[in-house]
Structure 1
Amino acid sequence: MAVGGVTLLGHGRLGSAITEGWRLAGIAFDPAILTRQSPPGCPPGTRTLVIAVKPAAWREAVTPLEATLPADATVLSVMAGVRAADIAAVLPGRPVVRVMPTTAVAQAQGVAAIWSADAGARAQAHSLFDPIADTVDLEEEGLIDAATAVAGSAPAFFYALAQALAEAGSEAGLSPDAASRLTRGALRSAGAGAGTDAGLDDLIARIASPGGTTRAGLDALEAAGLDATARSAVQAAIRRAQALAGDQPA
């Protein structure tokens, strides 16, 4: 697959993951990468500007590019909490598309939520992210924050639960190394199941036999407030994204 004219602004953790995924997926191009050390301005021929800088510093990074970014270029943001209208105000006239990918795009196994009011910009986002992620179109921009919470942030939530399980395994007598390896293996097993078309309820039922050990553990998690904890995590992530956008106090 050949894609041309892509300029990536910012090459931190997410920007690096995206470029790694593109190369792994065989997308035949080398994106121009702009960092603080780069000469000011967009390279000639830029057709898509991918903004992957930290949300707190985006205006400082993006504003100097307005004069050299072609008027018909697509602006693709992977920043949490930065609204399309704010980006469009700094880069007027260019269509804006927001994409929220997970860092597993580096292995071409990510998931990415996509929203844009412009059909062409949305199509460009699909051309760049379909090869490296399971892409999900959102009906309205306001849903981006929820998508960020349940996808972009959720891998860290899963890792935190795995870490807690490993610690519980150590307390139950396993060595720290054995507990860590077993828990990471369980996480990979869960990921294999998630890669199928089976529903989540079905995946749980395949493991949790009535009256068995897994069912007992699930009952304990539910009694400890698993649902409430998940809701709290999602709502906290949404509130933080809204605060970054200036919708409410940080």
Structure 2
Amino acid sequence: MRVTLLGHGRLGSAIAEGWRLTGAVSDPTILTRAVPPVCPPETQALVVAVKPAAWREAVAPLLATLPVDAVVVSVMAGVLADDLAAAAPGRPVARVMPTTAVAQGQGVAAIWSADEPARALAHRLFDPIADTVDLDEEAMLDAATAVAGSAPAFFYALAQALAAAGVEAGLTQDAAERLTRGALRSAGSGAGTDASLEDLIARIASPGGTTRAGLDALVDADLNGAGAAAVQAAVSRAQALARGD
């Protein structure tokens, strides 16, 4: 499949790395501001991975060479399919919200499109590099972005807080950070199984044990409220981007 990737920042480069690693797309055409804005005539999919605030300016010069039957695949938060379709008349649109772990072929990606062939093409692009989740409504992409695309940073922030607490408890900074990173890797290995999140917690937190005591402390500190606040803030920001705020 011939794919043109517009944008080569953190997410765009991660997608390209994942494609090369898995062989899903062996030789994508990568366009940046430094490259003349021309789509190869055989382009089947234009994957738009630029910053949401700059997408119109970035896409407009490509329309003269973008094939009329090419699918526009957006990986941008807050940019609505109707706006993309209006900017690229006649081309079907799919929206995908992947995580940067697609670079290692271990990402997760939410997919939505009102056009079934476009949705199928998006799956061809992202199934090899991510656990793909189909959404029934475009509006759900904002929530998917918050709980998948943004959440790794939330996990890192919690890990950072735990490492700081470890230092307060007497560990050196190096030891605290290495131990916390190891804990993240352990959690990640469990997440790769089919076990439910509740089961994964139960495997570690024995009744009356130290882990359960720590979990109870997190709940008392309003862990659920913090999670809800983080997701809602990310969703609100995506909605603001869609409005042009």
TM-score in same-fold range (> 0.5): yes
Q: Does 1:42 align with 2:33?
A: no
Question: Which amino acid in structure 1 is aligned with residue 88 of structure 2?
Answer: L
SS in 1 for 2:78: coil
The Cα of 1:23 is off from its aligned counterpart by 1.1
The Cα of 1:237 is off from its aligned counterpart by 0.1
- Give unmatched runs, 5+ long, in structure 1: none
Match of 1:26 in 2: 23
CA distance in 1, matches of 2:114, 2:32: 28
Match of 1:97 in 2: 94
Match of 2:200 in 1: 203
Question: Which amino acid in structure 2 is aligned with residue 69 of structure 1?
Answer: L
Q: Does 1:165 align with 2:162?
A: yes
CA distance in 2, matches of 1:40, 1:117: 28
TM superposition score normalised by structure 2: 0.98
Question: Which amino acid in structure 1 is aligned with residue 212 of structure 2?
Answer: R
Match of 1:13 in 2: 10
Match of 2:108 in 1: 111
SS in 1 for 2:86: helix
Among candidates 57, 60, 72, match of residue 57 of structure 2 = 60
SS in 2 for 1:71: coil
Could you report, residue by residue, the CA deviation over 1:48-68 in whole angstroms, capped at 9, with x for unpaired residues? Answer: 000000000000001111121
The Cα of 1:28 is off from its aligned counterpart by 5.1
Among candidates 191, 196, 199, match of residue 194 of structure 1 = 191
* Structure 1 residue ranges, 4+ long, deviating more than 2 angstroms after superposition: 26-29
Match of 1:174 in 2: 171
- Give unmatched runs, 5+ long, in structure 2: none
Identity %: 77
CA distance in 1, matches of 2:45, 2:21: 20
Q: CA RMSD in A?
A: 0.9
Question: Which amino acid in structure 1 is aligned with residue 22 of structure 2?
Answer: A
SS in 1 for 2:243: coil
Match of 2:232 in 1: 235
8 A contact 2:81–2:95 mirrored in 1: yes
Could you report, residue by residue, the CA deviation over 1:94-113 in whole angstroms, capped at 9, with x for unpaired residues? Answer: 00000000000001000000
SS in 2 for 1:92: coil
CA distance in 1, matches of 2:2, 2:104: 23
Question: Which amino acid in structure 1 is aligned with residue 83 of structure 2?
Answer: D
Among candidates 140, 143, 148, match of residue 146 of structure 1 = 143
Question: Which amino acid in structure 1 is aligned with residue 153 of structure 2?
Answer: A
CA distance in 1, matches of 2:34, 2:103: 24
Match of 1:245 in 2: 242
- 5 Å-filtered alignment, 1:114-125, equals 114-125=111-122
Match of 1:131 in 2: 128
